């Protein structure tokens, strides 16, 4: 017996018959279309009739999921922050640091 769930943007589902996991990206009620994204990144539009035929289970976001553009942007920002912190350290050997060392009394 198929379990009917309304498509909810951002919700993950398992299509039990096909053993496929996907999330809903958008729902266009006027056009009766649902855009879904599978774990492998493939995106598909299906109509409401096709949705109704699926035997679905609601599931949690799969571990290690990295397909979201928003998630990638967040990761990039964190990496940039890490680089900034590393770059600003005194031991980065740029000309300014060497000049400061020389001005602090190191004479040759």
CA distance 63 to 22: 13
Give the N- to C-terminal CA distance of the chain in Å, as an integer: 86
Name the residue among 37, 79, 45, 86 with its Cα closest to residue 62.
37
Evaluate if residue 37 carries a pLDDT over 50: yes
Evaluate if residue 81 carries a pLDDT over 70: no
Reported pTM: 0.59
The pLDDT tens digits of the residues spanning 52-70 come to: 999 999 999 998 877 655 4
Name the residue among 56, 71, 70, 58 with its Cα closest to residue 18.
56
Q: How far does CA 10 lie from the centroid of its chain? A: 11
Q: Tokens 């539009």 identify what position?
A: 45
């Amino acid at each position: 017996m198929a379990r009917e769930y309304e498509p909810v943007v951002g919700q993950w589902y398992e299509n039990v018959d096909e053993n496929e996991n996907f999330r809903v990206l958008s729902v266009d009620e006027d056009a009766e279309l649902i855009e879904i994204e599978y774990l492998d990144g493939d995106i598909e539009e299906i109509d409401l009739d096709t949705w109704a035929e699926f035997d679905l289970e609601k599931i949690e976001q799969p571990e290690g999921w990295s397909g979201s553009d928003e998630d990638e942007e967040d990761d990039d920002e964190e990496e940039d922050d890490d680089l900034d912190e590393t770059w600003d350290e005194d031991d980065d050997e740029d000309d300014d640091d060497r000049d400061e060392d020389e001005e602090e009394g190191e004479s040759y």
